[in-house]
């Protein structure tokens, strides 16, 4: 009577209808078009019309090596995205920009060096799993837009906010979205796309050199956004790239990871085929206990096969590092420097 026995049988038997298969360039282009449309529908569809961004800068702070602007913009009518725009000093000509997407935790403050008490850290002072990766990006000379994902930090419900710390409204909001025929992935990807709109509209950003970067739940958003929005020239996925069979369906995860019917469409490594021929880099820790290393290695083999089929083997990169479920970045930044 154990439901997991029956579920494991069902999971083992499912055969995705749009899994990757080698073919001619025309066949691959047709496959991409079909899978991209099915993926967009599975996450609840994307908003048909874009509302005005109505972007505003609420605060500007000057630091020794960068400037930080607190920004807000609309992703949906009356629904705002909170984020930080970081620009390196001294001012340089328009260049590449990275959209940074945090994972579960205290929210976007944690990737720009702010503690939950509002205290500012320097790069390298943070021992938490996200490692201030937005600060690492700006220290490498990139413009950065780090946005708060729905249900975390500045964008959680009042009940979660009263609980303080890393409390989120993720489960509650995700289940409400499922009842409405939407998904949390769909909402977060749409916010990320509007974040790309914001970056592309800035005069100090080269709109042809946009990247996404995320850890854990932010890695999910980075991957799905790059798969669905071809403006993304390069994507970095940390602590997420794997197989759904061996991670999301084998280990307890937040409900925001689940998308109805997705396993019948494709497996996670197939999404690499929606990023190709653009650049994709994935990293994993040897001791990551929620996205197991053996499945990461198998997913990487599939991704390399896909990139070879597109004739762009050099546009895919990966790294395994000694560590747990955490951001590493060494190989990722080397990869971006050569391709962004």
Q: Which two tokens stand for residue 60?
A: 């500007």
Q: What is residue 22's predicted lDDT score, i.e. its pLDDT?
A: 95
What is this structure's pTM? 0.96
The 10s digit of each residue's pLDDT in 315-326 is 999 999 999 999
Q: Which domain holds residue 263?
A: 3-339
Q: Which residues contact 182 (CB under 8 A, 6 or more apart)?
A: 43, 44, 45
The 10s digit of each residue's pLDDT in 193-211 is 999 999 999 999 999 999 9
Q: Which of 283, 304, 298, 166 is nearest to 215 (CA)?
A: 283
What's the CATH number where 25 sits? 3.40.50.1820
Q: Which two tokens stand for residue 214?
A: 């995320």
Helix (H) / strand (E) element for 160: namely: helix 158-163
185 close to 259: Cβ distance less than 8 angstroms: yes
Q: Which residue has the tokens 């494709």?
A: 266
170 close to 128: Cβ distance less than 8 angstroms: no
Q: What is residue 161's predicted lDDT score, i.e. its pLDDT?
A: 84
Strand, coil or helix: 235: strand
Q: Which residues of the chain have pLDDT under 70?
A: 117, 122-127
CA-CA distance, 283 to 112, in Å (whole number)?
21
Domains: count for the chain: 1
Q: What is residue 127's predicted lDDT score, i.e. its pLDDT?
A: 58
Q: What is residue 45's predicted lDDT score, i.e. its pLDDT?
A: 87
Angle at alpha carbon of residue 270, lines to 267 and 275, rounded to 5°: 140
Residue 288: C-alpha distances to residues 39, 125, 309 (Å): 27, 22, 30
């Amino acid at each position: 009577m154990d439901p997991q026995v029956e579920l494991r049988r069902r999971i083992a038997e499912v055969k995705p209808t749009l899994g990757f298969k080698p073919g001619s360039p025309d066949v691959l282009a047709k496959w991409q078009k079909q899978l991209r449309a099915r993926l967009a529908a599975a996450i609840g569809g994307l908003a048909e019309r874009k509302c005005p961004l109505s972007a505003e800068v609420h605060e500007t702070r000057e630091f020794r090596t960068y400037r930080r602007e607190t920004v807000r913009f609309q992703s949906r009518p009356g629904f705002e995205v909170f984020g930080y725009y970081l620009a390196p000093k001294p001012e340089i000509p328009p260049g590449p920009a990275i959209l940074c997407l945090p994972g579960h935790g205290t929210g976007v403050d944690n990737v720009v060096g702010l503690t939950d008490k509002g205290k500012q850290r320097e790069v390298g002072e943070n021992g938490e799993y996200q490692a201030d990766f937005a600060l690492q990006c700006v220290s490498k000379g990139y413009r950065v837009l780090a946005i708060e994902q729905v249900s975390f930090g500045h964008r959680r419900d009042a009940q979660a906010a009263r609980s303080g710390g890393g409390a989120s409204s993720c489960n509650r909001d995700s289940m409400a979205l499922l009842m409405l025929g939407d998904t949390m992935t769909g909402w977060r990807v749409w916010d990320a796309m509007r974040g790309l709109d914001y970056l592309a509209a800035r005069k100090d950003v080269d709109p042809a050199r946009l990247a996404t970067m995320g850890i854990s739940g932010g890695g999910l958003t980075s991957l799905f956004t790059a798969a669905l929005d071809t403006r993304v020239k390069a994507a970095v996925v940390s602590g997420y790239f794997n197989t759904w069979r061996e991670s999301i369906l084998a280990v307890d995860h937040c409900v925001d990871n689940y998308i109805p019917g997705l396993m019948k469409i494709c497996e996670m490594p197939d999404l690499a085929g929606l990023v190709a021929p653009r650049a994709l880099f994935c990293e994993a820790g040897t001791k990551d206990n929620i996205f197991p290393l053996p499945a990461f290695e198998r997913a990487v083999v599939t991704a390399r096969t896909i990139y070879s089929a597109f004739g762009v083997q050099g546009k895919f990169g990966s790294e395994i590092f000694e560590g747990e479920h955490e951001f590493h970045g060494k190989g990722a930044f080397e990869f971006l420097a050569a391709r962004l």
